[in-house]
Amino acid sequence: MDTNAQLWYIIREYIGNSEERGLDSADLVSFLLELSFHSTGKAYNINTLSGIQRTIIRDLADLGLVKLQQGRKESWFIPTKLATNLSISLSDTSSRKQEYAVVETNFRMYAYSSSKLHCEILRLFARVEYQLPNLIVGAITKESLYKAFQNGITAEQIISFLQQNAHPRVAERIPTVPENVTDQIRLWESDLNRVECIPAHFFEEFPSREVFEAACDHA
**Percent of the residues in the chain that have a pLDDT greater than 70, as a whole number:** 94
Q: Which residues pair with 64 in a beta bridge?
A: none
205 within a domain of the structure (yes/no): no
pLDDT for res 12: 83
One domain for residues 178 and 110: yes
**What single-letter amino acid sits at 68?**
L
**What single-letter amino acid sits at 31?**
F
Give mean pLDDT, residues 195-214.
Answer: 91
pLDDT for 87-134, tens place per residue?
Answer: 654 444 444 456 789 999 999 999 998 888 788 889 989 999 999 999
Please check the confidence at residue 175 and state whether its pLDDT lies above 80.
yes
Strand order in the sheet with 135-139: 101-103, 108-111, 135-139, 127-132
Q: Render the burial of 36-55: b for 16+ CB within 10 Å, e for the rest.
A: bebeeeeebebeebeeebee
DSSP annotation of 79: E
Find all residues with CB under 8 Å of 218, minimum gap 6, and list them. none
Strand order in the sheet with 44-45: 44-45, 75-79, 66-70
Give mean pLDDT, residues 133-157.
Answer: 91
Q: Kindly report the average pLDDT of the chain as a whole number.
A: 86
Give mean pLDDT, residues 168-175.
Answer: 86
pLDDT for res 119: 87
Q: Which domain holds residue 106?
A: 100-193
Last residue of a domain, one of 85, 119, 149: 85
One domain for residues 71 and 111: no
pLDDT for res 185: 96
pLDDT for 40-56, tens place per residue?
Answer: 888 999 988 888 888 89
One domain for residues 188 and 114: yes
Please check the confidence at residue 179 and state whether its pLDDT lies above 90.
yes
One domain for residues 188 and 104: yes
